[in-house]
Amino acid sequence: MSCYKYWDRIKAIASLLKKYGDYKLDDIPAEDIISILDDVEIIAHDQTIDFDSAKHILDDQKMYEALGIIRKFYVSLGTRLETENAKAILESDDPWTTLESFHFYDRYQGLIQNENQLVKFTPEQKVVLIGGGPLPLTLILFNKLFNSQCVSVEILPEVAALSRKVIKKLELESEIEVVQGDETALKDIEYTVVMVAALAEPKERVFANLWDIVDTVTPVLYRTYTGMRAILYSPVTERATRGFHKEVMILPTGKVNNTSVLIRKVV
């Protein structure tokens, strides 16, 4: 089915988002922004649109502004929801139940199960995530589901501090460490698996630094956006991952947004 059926809808969503100016989403009721996200994801999750058809609309110069607006909204919304849940956990008498109320919790579980098909996660694995954010749910679930030891690397000091408090509140500080810094912090960390978060930026710098640090055996996982799901965020390019060999990837199903990719360094 033609992706062009969504042309006007994408532009309409972008026009709606324009009224929020510089994306001060804290001023917008949560139910309103979730409603907008639902509208975007109806397009993103349409299984009748193949990759070639999606590329026609996503690469069209006439859609450049609209896609930019929607992608900024998606990043801002994700940051807001993570931060709100992280702060709620700190105030909660039942932090695990509060964590499970996170809007994307079930999707993360599906994503983690996908990634366990790329790398077998075990208690012997030590996973480092570049770009852990305020709510390092990926690592929390790796530890909960597979007992893997984990490290979150977060570049923003205030975000790293909040994340560290969340981990302590969940009583996981002996299982998950939060390190403040960029991807070069990996030099001082023991690990068996490296992951790059979907929103970790800039991608070219991140992967270039990882290439300098990791060996050719270490599995490197990254998350990207493919097909119409790329309406949500720009895909990772081959240029960004040059120097790595793509071994396998798993496409998302249902409401999962990320494609998971396994690569290894080549020399």
Residues 219 and 238 in one domain: yes
The pLDDT tens digits for 20-58 are 765 566 677 778 889 999 999 999 999 899 899 899 888
Residues 190 and 251 in one domain: yes
Answer yes or no: are the C-beta atoms of 151 and 127 closer than 8 Å: yes
Q: pTM of the entire structure?
A: 0.95
Q: How confident is the model at residue 226 (pLDDT cuts 50, 70, 90)?
A: very high
Last residue of a domain, one of 100, 117, 138: 100
Q: How confident is the model at residue 165 (pLDDT cuts 50, 70, 90)?
A: very high
Domain extent at residue 139: 109-265
Pairing of strands 220-224, 193-196: parallel
**Domain tally for the chain?**
2
Q: Structure tokens of 52? A: 């070639």
Residues 82 and 138 in one domain: no
CATH of the domain at 32: 3.40.50.150
For residue 3, pLDDT beyond 70: no
User: If you average pLDDT over every residue of the chain, what do you get?
Assistant: 94
Residues 76 and 155 in one domain: no
Answer yes or no: are the C-beta atoms of 98 and 89 closer than 8 Å: yes
Distance of CA 158 to the CA centre of its chain: 19
What whole-number percentage of the chain has pLDDT above 90? 85
Residues 141 and 73 in one domain: no
The pLDDT tens digits for 95-151 are 999 999 999 999 999 999 999 999 999 999 999 999 999 999 999 999 999 999 999
Nearest to 197 by CA among 147, 125, 258: 258
Last residue of a domain, one of 75, 100, 125: 100
